[in-house]
Chains A and B, each alone.
Chain A
């Protein structure tokens, strides 16, 4: 099976300057489990584009580092 990698606009945006390296609050509450830590920077990012734009990640972030946009196709 030949696979291509495509670019995709993701809904969850993390402000890396505010994201705390030791905190996993957003990752723990995401119903779809789509957030992860970038192993190189220790910052959270949206690893899988599977979003219900439901907002627990944004609400539970202690430093307001997260902004959830409406997914592009719905926007």
Chain B
């Protein structure tokens, strides 16, 4: 086992949507600066958009909507808890990103007049821009990363951010193929590792049958936490309405503009809006528990041409194996509704709001540490938000590193981390990571899946706190298994954060995402705030209220309550 040392000005951990954009923008800001993307897979096909994307969900296009309207929409759908200045960035800068992507060859749908063909999926505005030819998004981004001469190291997984005197100075990890210990010194670090997508256990029981790319195990949530950064809104879980068993999107965002809709078993609508929100998920939960289920995405009433067009989009982009899943069951959109189910829980600010705390410059609370994409707490940020915050992180990191020198990491810390990483290899006959992960995630389902119950969450928390002992039994036979073992460490950290944050906020908010049986009502008097958490100087997880930043767009939340129930 060798040690590889690397040095760079800006280190980007995770080469997905946000990470590739961060690298490109950092190089555009300073072509002389050194930028390195560290990726545990291969950036050509990594992250949430490994197989492209079928549409943009947060497109604020001049003439169709304004950043102010977009901020209003997200403020209401996220029950008022957000940093409007950060959400505003997505509204303001997203259009420029779309234009730049277009200049690189990404195709967005246009109407006969050549205008962007926006669709309404949100409750009020039109922010969905289809990309029926979006399957090659990741290869296009990879090409731009190379063209901009950012360096890429594939198949190396980061495990910890290096911190000295309170600022991020690099990262440490290992090569998941040859097992080398890797130390990277950097003047700034950008975390872009995606969602905590392997937190709950899918109902199928298959560990990797997740909505999110299963490589996204909450790496950045855990690394930011151990670096001393604040995390925010962790109790605002990601829970999605997904194709039962397949666990991918059905996808109403694509199909509902064509006339598809979510219905109960009788074929009746019970929600007025297919946009994913906790409030919508609560209605799905109520419907399923009322005996009127199963819930389905209904397309059987559409004509042949429309269904064929929907199939072309859904079976080529994002999750192209949808087609063969339906085929295998002898079902298709003409004859069957798509049976939907409530997913297991995850953490993801791309869809809900749970993530590492960032401001409108993508700065975390640790100097020199930035976060972007699904793991950065900018509510409902989706893919365009990941690009925008990747851009902000890349450009602001370049500005930050000017005049800074590399700092030597603490040798003692490196030794301790090296021992922690390689421990499973010292017991190749230890408990396999699959079993350790299965049990942990089954406990997440048992005790954290909403509706949230105090007594259950307390038991869950005790289990997660004690699970360190179980992690110490885990064995690996090769660097690949070691990668999965270290991901289980990340998952455990996320489970503990999810339990503690959920217990801390003693009210219900965000529909099903934080529906507490013991505190069923929203309580703005006490809980109109963020719940943030961090690791304190003695290594304890501490939680605290963080005030919501003053609004820049006025919204009357007493009057404008997000409600999508059909009564």
Contact = CB atoms under 8 A, between A and B. Distances in A.
Task: Answer yes or no: do A and B interact.
Answer: yes
Interface of A: 1, 3, 28-33, 47-48, 50-56, 59-60, 68-71, 73-75
Interface string B150-187: 00000100000000000000000000110000000000
B265 interface: no
A55 B321 contact: yes
Contact of B214 (A52, A55, A60): A52
Given A1-B429, A73-B205, A29 B324 contact: no
Contact of B41 (A31, A69, A73): A31
Contacts of B51: 54-56, 59
Contact of A74 (B204, B431, B432): B204
A57 B176 CA distance: 19
B506 interface: no
B530 interface: no
Contact of A56 (B50, B207, B329, B431): B50
Nearest to B39: A31
Contacts of A48: 480-481
List of 8 A-B pairs having minimum Cβ-Cβ separation, nearest first: A56-B45, A31-B41, A29-B45, A73-B206, A53-B321, A73-B204, A1-B429, A74-B245
A31 B430 contact: no
Given A55-B320, A73-B204, 17 more contacts: A1-B427, A1-B429, A1-B473, A1-B475, A29-B44, A48-B480, A48-B481, A50-B207, A55-B51, A56-B51, A68-B321, A70-B246, A70-B325, A73-B205, A74-B204, A74-B247, A75-B325
B483 interface: yes
A75 B481 CA distance: 26
Given A3-B429, A71-B209, A75-B328, A33 B321 contact: no
Nearest to B483: A33
A59 B429 CA distance: 36
B249 to A, nearest CB: 13
Interface string B83-103: 000000000000000000000
Interface string B429-446: 111100000000000000
B213 A52 contact: yes
Given A28-B42, A31-B45, A70-B246, A1 B209 contact: no
Given A32-B208, A50-B208, A55-B321, A70 B328 contact: yes
Contacts of B42: 28-31
B176 A33 contact: yes
Contacts, number: 90
Nearest to B51: A54
B208 A33 contact: no
Contacts of B427: 1
A1 B210 CA distance: 30
Q: Is the interface of B mostly helix, strand, loop or mixed?
A: loop
B141 to A, nearest CB: 14
B480 A52 contact: no
Contacts of B7: none
Contacts of B432: 3
Contacts of B213: 31, 52, 54
A74 B246 CA distance: 6
A59 B475 CA distance: 34
B319 interface: yes
Contacts of B155: 33
Contact of B206 (A29, A31, A68, A71): A71
Contacts of B325: 70, 74-75
A29 B138 CA distance: 11
B265 to A, nearest CB: 22
A1 B424 CA distance: 13
B208 A51 contact: yes
B535 interface: no
A25 to B, nearest CB: 10
Nearest to B138: A56
Contact of B430 (A1, A29, A47, A75): A1
A75 B204 CA distance: 9
Contacts of B41: 30-33
Contacts of A52: 208-210, 213-214
Q: Which of B42, B431, B475, B483 has most chain A Cβ within 10 Å?
A: B42
B57 interface: no
